[in-house]
Amino acid sequence: MTFLNIKPIAWAFSLITLGTEMLNSVFSFYYVKLFLHLYKVSEVAFYQAQVIAVVVAILATASLYTGMCHLSRLEPKRSPEENFFSETVQDLPWTSVISLMRQILTQKNFRLFLIVNFFQVFHLTFFSNFMMIFVDNLIPTDVLPSSIRSIMYGAGFICPQCLVLISQSWLRKFGYYKMILFSFYLEGTASIVMLLLGQQYYYFLALYLTVIMVIVQASFCLFNLPLADMVDADFLKFNRQSPLSSMVFGINALFTKPAQSLAPMVILSRLNQFGYGNPNKSTILDLHEAMFNLICLVPLGIAAIQILVWSPFSIRKKTDYTGVF
């Protein structure tokens, strides 16, 4: 069997990646509730921490390119023939790097992808950080016991990976473009159905939260495929000596990572308008209604934006590389 013939180094890499992603998911899932409820971090301090995280993410990406440029100057000199075949972004002056970044950013498909990916990261962070808070407030414990809640939370970590694995045949048949687009339509449809049902249907609400979180995470796992195809398309279009993989992935991270900090800031600010920090009997119903509207309207709005932006994306298979930017 092919599954049993996988090389040990591939197994090692897969297990390390799985462990890293699970740790990252667990931290993202618990850290908002942990800091707000256990450590009693104030709203101002929480916002300050999120702003610092955005700045650090931007500086980290910029430092990556700075470090690569400085390291390249310390390398031994090469012959003209070696330079011709091995010149990369790290060997170029900053003016050339800026010019390459401008070339990448002016390409239509890349701009469309950045917008879609930004909202996908925002959407994923929204559910990862606030799902437990929403469940605790909107679903009574006598309706949904802690054991079922644990299964819900665990499904958000395990099911997306399983869904991606079992959908490989569909991915080969329909391509990542249609699979991602279908996930947007599914998220939007589920949000409309839940909004029409109302928050009093607790079991449907629990199922909805679990399904949405799984779909968002699973579709996000596919986003490296169009990004890799855009690297290849850029390589062919401009007849580059080598693909600009690190630059394309770095620019993508630079524009999308801030969504991880913006999502908690925006959602928490909205909840605090309805007394989330100090709930009482007079505001609890308004708070619950605000939470329900958020878990329905945020996915619906994001899905609508992503459908509109993703539809014109023209790289849908490898034969679409030439001239599509």
The residue ranges of every structural domain in the chain are 17-320
Report the share of the chain in percent with pLDDT over 70: 68
Handedness of CA 132, 134, 140, 143 (dihedral sign): negative
CB 279 within 8 A of CB 74: no
In tens, the pLDDT along 143-169 reads: 888 888 888 888 877 888 788 888 888
Of 146, 161, 162, nearest in space to 206 by CA: 146
In tens, the pLDDT along 289-308 reads: 999 999 999 999 999 999 99
Average pLDDT over residues 194-215: 93
17-320: what CATH class?
mainly alpha
pTM of the model: 0.77
What is the radius of gyration, based on Cα positions, of the chain?
22
In tens, the pLDDT along 57-114 reads: 555 565 555 554 444 444 444 444 434 334 455 555 667 778 888 888 888 999 999 9
Burial of 192 (0-12, 13-18, 19+ CB in 10 A): middle
CB 138 within 8 A of CB 199: yes
